[in-house]
Chains A and B, each alone.
Chain A
Amino acid sequence: MRYVVLFCALLISGCETMSESSNLTEAAIKQIKLDYQRKKQRTELKKATAKTEAILLAEKERDAASGNPETWYNLGMVYWEDFQKTDRQFSHDQALTTFESLLKMVPGNVSTIKAIYNIHYRDLVTGDLDAFDHTQNYFNQLNKENQNTLNPPSLAKFIFLYYEQRKKDNFDYELLQNTLLKAIQEQPYSDASFIQLAKLYTNQSYYPLAIATLKYGAEYNPESVDLLKNIASTYESRASADGCHYANLDWINRASRYYLQAIPLQPQEADLHLKLARSFMDRDMPKLAAYEIQLLLEIQPSANNYAFAAHNFALMGKREMASQYLDNAKTAGLLASDSAYHEVYMISGNWLKAALSFTDYVQSQKHLNVYDAIKADILSQESKINLTPLVAKKQVEYLNDWQTLIHAWWQGKMTDDKLQLVVTNKCEQAELFFYSGYKAMLAGDLTKAKSAFNKTIDQNTFRFVERSLAKRFLAEIQ
């Protein structure tokens, strides 16, 4: 019943934070059960009990050889497949009854037990709390070797609880964590339990615990690409925790190591190459990054990947390649409003094109961020196209205090010294140095500008547009 496992995998992959309630109140449990019953009734009312041709054929085969367990198994699977397609309660119930009858014929048969298990697993995930006992019952009938091929019962319970709590936007982390810990005990070879538990910790900013959990999972599943990816991404999240991962390059370094471990296990996964390339760029390893980008494009030559390539080659100073890849992105369907266009053109010094593509970008946005506002001014200045009226129609959104302050400073509402006092990390420093340098350059104070641009470069924020621009402007004024 691989597709049930996959269903669950889909359900939980890429999920944001989930939380848990180990001790749902009685009222809550009652409500959940009531909701499930109502949902079941609605499904029953909607769906008919007619038998499809496939069902009729399978029944005929079963009736002709009712002593042959395989005909029963086949019938059960046909019903199950019908339920998966149509959501008919009738088919669900018939599948279950058929497999249960089969199990009486062949007690202990692993395939049958797994089939019944997967039905109850699915029921549990979709809200039938009573199915939990059934999942445990059938799970326990299997030996360890067979249990290890299934997702554990508590993982299904976790999935259900998470979605219930998400609906109410009220997460009980402790419950969800405890449920996942039980899932790990039931079946430690399921990497999903470790990954979801780590995500819970990550979302609460307990990065070391998340990483330790993933590594603990990797002891059981050393060849789990998902675990290795998640270890790497958790390192990256940890690096970015205080807002500037360049201040924690050591974590980026560790992330790279795990991407490198994951790639041989799944060399055709494009995302691994993308993330590894990015981490190489962050660590000022452009040649390695270029190699990974090439691999990325061989595996998945999508618009976004071409845009990524264009951006990074622009950062490397390879204008022609950047331009070529941007064209490829366009051909592959990259929207004209994508930010990649104006950023690549900016980094490459093609101000007119940058300004024009920036216009497309702005028009597609509901709101702008502070960097968009600053870019607008720079582009207006460099391209001689006045973009101010365009930008003035849009509201600027600030995601943190720094953005508010730097915009205020950019607009002359704050002094340099005052802003300098509130700088907390390299990233903010790099931004301040660059924008100060640019202002100085416009004011004709080239000495100040050079100093500021050098300091920008020294911050080693390798993928920042500001750093590339600082290099460009420095070259122009030297």
Chain B
Amino acid sequence: MKTHLISGFILMLLSTFPVASAFANEIKKSDRLAPALTKIAKTKIDEKSEAEVLLRKTRVVLDEKGFSRAVSYVAVHINSDEAARDYSQISVSFNSFYEDIALDFANVRTTDGKIHSVQPDATQIQSPSDENFYHDQKELLFSLPNVRKGSVIEFQYTYTDIKKIMPDAWFDSFGFHWWEDRAAGQGSRADKVALSELEIILPESLPFYFNDASRYGVKLKKSSKKNQQIYFWQVKNLAEVKLQEYMQRDHSYAAYVRAGTVKDWQPVAVWADNLISPHLKIDDKMNQLKDEINKTTKTPEQKVKAVYSAMQDKIRYVFAHVGRGGYEPHDAAEVLKNGYGDCKDQTVFAVTLLRALGIEANPALIATRSRGVPDMTIPAVTFDHMIVHIPAQNGLAELWMDTTGDANLYPGFSVAIEDQPALVVNQETNGIQFLPALPAKEHNVNFRLVFDKISGKNAQASFDIQFSGMYEQRLRSMWQYTPDREKYFRDFLKNLYSSADIIELQALNADSLWEGFHIKGKFLFSNVWGGEKEPIEYGFNITQLTSLFADLRSLDKPENRKQRFVLSPGYSIHSTIIFKSPSPHYQLQVKTQGQNNENSFYTLQQSGKDLKGQYQIEQQLELKPVDLSIQDYPAYYQQIQQLLDTQNWSVSYTYNTGQAAMAAVKQSGKSETDQLIAIIRLHIKNGQYADALKVAEDVVVKSPSSGEAYYLLGLAQGYNNLLDESDKSFHKAEFLGYDI
């Protein structure tokens, strides 16, 4: 059965023993569900819309065993060339293990009133290309003739259940929009809908549960007839749904109904447990492995890590479901023998081994982020992944372990499963759990840059970047899977300083299960320094890092934002930048400083410290997870623009002629008094009045007859606000013959 979920992603269906459908022998075309096309075509349309669904109508009929037959009709008015391209080919997906599909008809009414039907050779069933996945997912594909601006297209198809996922249970989701894939794989569209209807007919003996769709303006009418309960939903004039970045993960942005015959989650958990438990079988080889682990580990945590390590070593991840329905795992022993398995195989193997080691563990079904957050109020088998749940027990905190990643950091907890709904598979489970959401600090880039070598006209800077959370996963994955990864990373990091070359690059821990992925290297800046005695200018802005590791410049302008804005998870960037002085004879000038900003969306703290010979900048940016209405979004956008406009750190080291002169004086070979007098003058010139005073006091003791010494003492005293003393010193200078 095609999923009617808004996102249109693959729905993984579970099956125990395939139960044949009462409809299985009746996979035939259905009668037309809608009025005649000529009548539908007269519906008043919105001329401004590119396309408008004139009618979307679905009728689902269930039998006593929960098998369903669903007929779907769609009619669309095409009002633009782009819509014509998108609607020229229609694709309807289904799982061939559980359901069958038939195209009842597909027609196009052109602007001259003629009706053209789809040709038989323009219809086919095909598998979507995905080299890593062997599964039963298929597509009904057909091309419509003469689709132009002004045409009205219609099509109707029928799904028929041939096997059940859960025995005696039925569940499904229905969207009131029609989600059409855009041409050339450019996403999908959900156009405006004039009228959308859903009818579900089922025996009165079956329990029936569904969500409240009234907030979308959907009206529900319940009725019964001849021992059948009839539910009829209808909604008119639904606005188009524009998908944007940073939308909420739940599916509430489009009207839907989720319905089923299961009241709570326990039956689902029990059914899954009954499906999986028989495969948790240990054999001699697994026992051997268990013994090896026991020999080398003592604590429960060590044992869990050993199992994780064993998974990485011995079991490759391969998705293979052809002819099996999608959720029945292989035996644990078989997985070890084959040396490969998909998520449920790996989970079964891990759980079996953990239990053999005395660690309490269960499989957990989970809907990953790629599916968003489905409505979990109506139980359904709506999961696309399986991981291991280890509850808190002696010596172990609660742990969610995902072994399917290739050499992922232990325990494989990735952003794909963070804060997602999961169903722990055992007989006692009666509800959904959400996995923990990591704080922004745990999704972190830690960037360190030290300008540590200045040679000739060039400068070098060493960088060291450490990652955690989603950054660790993403960058590790990039390193593992990108062809010509060195070049890729050099090009990637070069965006930090476009004028610099990366002369060294090292990736560490790319395959480590225990230490995070880590990059080190060196930048070379050519012709940035004029040489000895010339100033050197350094600069850095936090936006150099946000450009690389965040996506802040592509935010929708407030007037273009149509959906809630959700940033999840939050993340953080920390940097330490060290600028070094070319030599001790240089003095620091901080020309501009980065600003701090704290608001409800992010905090930015920046500070600089003169460490004598080098200047250190620390920056800490934390973007908080947010969930904002359209009304609140402009404030967020404005604050982000302020962040993007934040001032640079601009630091220069300039040659301290005074200091150099000081050194030159000391090396000049002049008499001590002359040297000291020169030093006093330099101190005064450099504004070091206290130092000048100290030396001057010293000189007049050493050379009591030097009028010049007293003169300079008078000046130094004056600039230290010792005015009376200054006057006396000047008089003494005059007395000694110094011409004031």
A140 lies within 8 A of B723 (CB): no
- Complex CA gap A206/B728 in Å reads 10
Q: If the complex has contacts A208-B730, A212-B740, are A174 and B721 also in contact, measured as CB distance less than 8 A?
A: yes
Contacts of B685 in A (CB 8 A): 188
A206 lies within 8 A of B718 (CB): yes
- Min CB–CB distance A120 → chain B (angstroms): 14
A209 lies within 8 A of B592 (CB): no
CB-contact partner of B730 in A140, A182, A185, A209, under 8 A: A209
A140 lies within 8 A of B740 (CB): no
- Complex CA gap A201/B592 in Å reads 35
B687 lies within 8 A of A181 (CB): yes
- Interface membership of A398, Cβ < 8 A: no
A208 lies within 8 A of B687 (CB): no
B715 lies within 8 A of A140 (CB): no
CB-contact partner of B723 in A185, A204, A211, under 8 A: A204
- Min CB–CB distance B595 → chain A (angstroms): 11
Q: If the complex has contacts A141-B650, A209-B730, are A185 and B714 also in contact, measured as CB distance less than 8 A?
A: no
- Interface membership of B684, Cβ < 8 A: yes
A216 lies within 8 A of B684 (CB): yes
- Interface membership of A177, Cβ < 8 A: yes
- Complex CA gap A7/B195 in Å reads 74
Contacts of A212 in B (CB 8 A): 711, 714-715, 718, 730, 740
- Min CB–CB distance B275 → chain A (angstroms): 62
Contacts of B718 in A (CB 8 A): 201, 206, 209, 212-213
B726 lies within 8 A of A206 (CB): yes
- Interface membership of B236, Cβ < 8 A: no
Complex: chain A residue closest to B734, CB-CB? A208
Q: If the complex has contacts A174-B721, A206-B718, A209-B714, are A185 and B687 also in contact, measured as CB distance less than 8 A?
A: yes
A181 lies within 8 A of B727 (CB): no
- Interface membership of B589, Cβ < 8 A: yes
Complex: chain A residue closest to B589, CB-CB? A140
As a 0/1 sequence over residues 441 to 453 of chain A, the CB contacts with chain B under 8 angstroms (1 = contact) are 0000000000000
- Min CB–CB distance A220 → chain B (angstroms): 9
- Interface membership of A137, Cβ < 8 A: yes
Complex: chain A residue closest to B685, CB-CB? A188
- Complex CA gap A199/B727 in Å reads 15
- Interface membership of A184, Cβ < 8 A: yes
- Complex CA gap A178/B689 in Å reads 11
- Min CB–CB distance A185 → chain B (angstroms): 4
B721 lies within 8 A of A177 (CB): yes
- Interface membership of B719, Cβ < 8 A: yes
- Complex CA gap A137/B719 in Å reads 26
- Complex CA gap A140/B650 in Å reads 10
Interface residues of A in 200-252 (CB under 8 A from B): 201, 204, 206, 208-209, 211-213, 216
Best-buried of B711, B715, B740 by chain A (most CB within 10 Å): B740
A181 lies within 8 A of B731 (CB): no
CB-contact partner of A141 in B592, B684, B687, under 8 A: B592
Contacts of B719 in A (CB 8 A): 181
CB-contact partner of B591 in A140, A185, A206, A216, under 8 A: A140
As a 0/1 sequence over residues 114 to 145 of chain A, the CB contacts with chain B under 8 angstroms (1 = contact) are 00000000000000000000000100110110
A206 lies within 8 A of B731 (CB): no
- Min CB–CB distance A474 → chain B (angstroms): 38
- Interface membership of B590, Cβ < 8 A: yes
Contacts of A209 in B (CB 8 A): 714-715, 718, 723, 726-727, 730
B723 lies within 8 A of A206 (CB): yes
- Complex CA gap A143/B535 in Å reads 10
- Min CB–CB distance B647 → chain A (angstroms): 9
As a 0/1 sequence over residues 725 to 739 of chain B, the CB contacts with chain A under 8 angstroms (1 = contact) are 011001101100000
A137 lies within 8 A of B592 (CB): yes
B650 lies within 8 A of A208 (CB): no
Contacts of A140 in B (CB 8 A): 589-592
- Complex CA gap A166/B727 in Å reads 26
Contacts of B721 in A (CB 8 A): 174, 177-178
Contacts of A181 in B (CB 8 A): 687, 689, 719
- Min CB–CB distance A331 → chain B (angstroms): 45
- Complex CA gap A348/B714 in Å reads 48
Interface residues of B in 697-733 (CB under 8 A from A): 711, 714-715, 718-719, 721, 723, 726-727, 730-731, 733
- Complex CA gap A104/B592 in Å reads 14
Contacts of A216 in B (CB 8 A): 684, 715
- Complex CA gap A105/B689 in Å reads 42
- Complex CA gap A262/B734 in Å reads 25
As a 0/1 sequence over residues 217 to 242 of chain B, the CB contacts with chain A under 8 angstroms (1 = contact) are 00000000000000000000000000
Complex: chain B residue closest to A104, CB-CB? B645
- Complex CA gap A137/B689 in Å reads 24
Contacts of B591 in A (CB 8 A): 137, 140-141
Contacts of B715 in A (CB 8 A): 209, 212-213, 216
- Complex CA gap A104/B644 in Å reads 12
- Complex CA gap A380/B483 in Å reads 116
- Min CB–CB distance A143 → chain B (angstroms): 8
CB-contact partner of B727 in A143, A182, A206, under 8 A: A206
Contacts of B723 in A (CB 8 A): 201, 204, 206, 209
Complex: chain B residue closest to A220, CB-CB? B685
- Min CB–CB distance B516 → chain A (angstroms): 36
Interface residues of A in 165-185 (CB under 8 A from B): 174, 177-178, 181-182, 184-185
- Min CB–CB distance B451 → chain A (angstroms): 20
- Complex CA gap A144/B645 in Å reads 27
- Complex CA gap A104/B541 in Å reads 14
- Min CB–CB distance A232 → chain B (angstroms): 14
Best-buried of B535, B689, B723, B730 by chain A (most CB within 10 Å): B723
- Complex CA gap A177/B689 in Å reads 13
- Min CB–CB distance A148 → chain B (angstroms): 14
B714 lies within 8 A of A208 (CB): yes
- Complex CA gap A140/B591 in Å reads 5
- Complex CA gap A174/B723 in Å reads 10
- Complex CA gap A258/B589 in Å reads 37
CB-contact partner of A208 in B590, B689, B740, under 8 A: B740
Interface residues of B in 663-714 (CB under 8 A from A): 684-687, 689, 711, 714
- Complex CA gap A174/B685 in Å reads 20
Contacts of B654 in A (CB 8 A): 144
Contacts of A204 in B (CB 8 A): 723
Complex: chain A residue closest to B650, CB-CB? A141
Complex: chain B residue closest to A238, CB-CB? B740
- Complex CA gap A144/B686 in Å reads 14
As a 0/1 sequence over residues 321 to 357 of chain A, the CB contacts with chain B under 8 angstroms (1 = contact) are 0000000000000000000000000000000000000
Which B residues fall within an 8 A CB radius of A? 535, 589-592, 645, 650, 654, 684-687, 689, 711, 714-715, 718-719, 721, 723, 726-727, 730-731, 733-734, 740
Offer 27 A-B interface pairs, CB within 8 angstroms, sorted by A.
A137-B591, A137-B592, A143-B535, A144-B654, A174-B721, A178-B721, A181-B689, A181-B719, A185-B686, A185-B687, A201-B718, A204-B723, A206-B718, A206-B726, A206-B727, A208-B714, A208-B727, A208-B740, A209-B723, A209-B727, A209-B730, A211-B740, A212-B711, A212-B714, A212-B715, A212-B718, A216-B715
With A181-B687, A212-B740 already in contact, 6 other A-B pairs whose C-beta atoms are closer than 8 Å: A140-B591, A141-B650, A181-B719, A188-B685, A208-B740, A212-B711
Which A residues fall within an 8 A CB radius of B? 104, 137, 140-141, 143-144, 174, 177-178, 181-182, 184-185, 188, 201, 204, 206, 208-209, 211-213, 216
